[in-house]
Chain A
């Protein structure tokens, strides 16, 4: 099954019943799949008139406690940033699929492209089976922490066919949705409010207390970041001279390149961050202990390399072995994703 179809199936399996989007490659196929898959299970898929409206519609559905998602690519994600930032302040769960082109949007995904002091957890699958698991996990985290959660995929993920069996994953009891709107608390004297400005109706004469609200949001963000265990795949690092760090599709190629180097006797290992936020800082730091160099591969000019440097804190040299690698379409089909080319770069970092 193609990645897009599998991700759509995973969303439905996770309970997603509202999706809104606007076509853009390589996100388009997910929208097509949701339009096909949601109506039979009683869900709604909206062909929004822009990404601004897509995220707005998903905002409304999320406010009713309906598991909701939206997504896009590059430009579309940029358009959505105002809402994603404020959804975090409104404490609303939403899953956002970022089917990126290449890896130039790491900073946007992990630093938040929007305004304000918020964070969105980011999950970066390397292949279709992992995407099926992480997409479902994203819904669970969004609901648990009442915060937008990003799934950061790419062109390869959307278009690669792999055999997968999508089964719902049980993450435990469903989180509380007593905050959600359905109209019924109207007239009770305790009518509910879902707002990025505050979560409590005025009881005295002060209007919104933004200080109180932002402090409460900060506490919720803190709890979320403490509550989410960073995820990473770590292999062959114990005796490694060179530890490579890469995520997403390139991470998959790096695994193969490292294994090929081991066969040639080069002591290489790798860390593949699965959560980009929270970043697996400890896993990277531990893997780097005893290594001669940490090599970072990303298909961009070097963004995640900052997080790796922060993890290593100068104890091991960090060498950037990535760089932009595109075909003429610019979609992120990278000529550099080749086991020999990557192997040479990794070995080169040692010399």
Chain B
């Protein structure tokens, strides 16, 4: 970090000089290397928030992150955190094994909607029902981002994906699963919240949710869960700058944000 003060200049005109780096905003827990996710993707913002919370709670040297398989998997090998890579859908049971074998660790899973709600739905439900002392983070963009924008169990009605070209139709493809609402009904779930990273306000609200989820684990109150709505301009087939508003109008209109359960 340098001492150069950061100055934000609001403007609607292109800058006369090319942009220059005034500071390095990379979170401390990111190692060298690029993640190669698309510009405008929401997943790096969510990931950054998780990393900041782990650092702020001073649990870096007790933490183990368990990754599912999706675009966010790109982070599994450039974090300065211990990482256990799981298979598609299987992170909650791997996290359970880690936590039960080493109860003093702080265990967090990172999964996508396809990973958690499609391939591995029963894993997260049982882990929540057992009241497992782990924190599960789910990055919900309503598509399989990594395979190129296909329908998932959270895709909202009307949403166009590569395999629902005319939009998700309830008669053909059924209805989206509201995973946080489902988990909140389970006795073992102590904290359940749904945030988003499409605006600065949402980012900071979501970060508070993540903090509370980790506190739930540290206090051994039970299972903690944060669903984070993330932009996927590539998988939504829209312009990058349209994605935050698209998220509000589509995903967030069905997967409504807020704290669903707190101990």
Contact = CB atoms under 8 A, between A and B. Distances in A.
A14 interface: no
B83 A195 contact: yes
Interface residue tally on B, bucketed by range: 35 or more
Given A186-B60, A195-B76, A60 B94 contact: yes
A207 B86 CA distance: 17
A113 interface: no
Contact of B85 (A64, A189, A196): A196
B82 interface: yes
Contacts of A48: 93
Nearest to B95: A60
Interface in A296-321: none
Given A44-B100, A182-B102, A183-B63, A59 B86 contact: yes
Interface string A184-210: 111111011111111011111111100
B78 interface: yes
A325 B102 CA distance: 46
Contacts of A20: 97
Contact of A193 (B33, B83, B105): B83
Interface in B97-138: 97-102, 105-106, 122-123, 126
A202 B78 contact: yes
Contact of A63 (B81, B98, B106): B98
B17 interface: no
A49 interface: yes
Contacts of A53: 90, 93, 96, 122-123, 126
Given A186-B81, A193-B77, A207-B74, A64 B102 contact: yes
Interface in B118-164: 122-123, 126
Contacts of B86: 56, 59
B80 interface: yes
Interface string B23-37: 000001101111010
B93 A56 contact: yes
Contacts of B94: 56-57, 59-60, 63
A125 B87 CA distance: 32
From B95, B100, B101, residue with most partner A Cβ within 10 Å: B101
A195 B83 CA distance: 8
Nearest to B76: A195
Interface in A18-76: 18, 20, 44, 46, 48-50, 52-54, 56-64, 66, 68
A187 B98 contact: no
B64 interface: yes
A185 B106 CA distance: 13
B33 A203 contact: yes
Nearest to A47: B130
Nearest to A199: B77
B79 A68 contact: no
Nearest to B75: A202
Interface in A134-179: none
B28 to A, nearest CB: 8
A195 to B, nearest CB: 3
Contact of A62 (B29, B64, B97, B122): B97
Nearest to A66: B101
A54 to B, nearest CB: 8
B199 interface: no
A207 B36 contact: yes
Interface in B15-72: 28-29, 31-34, 36, 60-64, 66
B84 interface: yes
A204 B34 CA distance: 8
A46 B96 CA distance: 10
A86 interface: yes
A70 to B, nearest CB: 10
A186 B80 contact: yes
B184 to A, nearest CB: 20
Contact of B100 (A18, A82, A200): A18
Contacts of A203: 31-33
B79 A191 contact: yes
A197 B33 CA distance: 17
Shortest 3 CB-CB contacts between residues of A and residues of B: A60-B97, A56-B93, A195-B85
26 contacts: A44-B100, A53-B93, A56-B87, A56-B93, A57-B96, A57-B97, A57-B100, A59-B90, A59-B94, A60-B93, A64-B98, A64-B102, A181-B64, A181-B98, A183-B82, A186-B60, A186-B61, A186-B80, A192-B82, A193-B76, A195-B85, A203-B33, A204-B33, A205-B33, A206-B33, A207-B33
Interface of A: 17-18, 20, 44, 46, 48-50, 52-54, 56-64, 66, 68, 82-83, 86, 90, 181-189, 191-198, 200-208
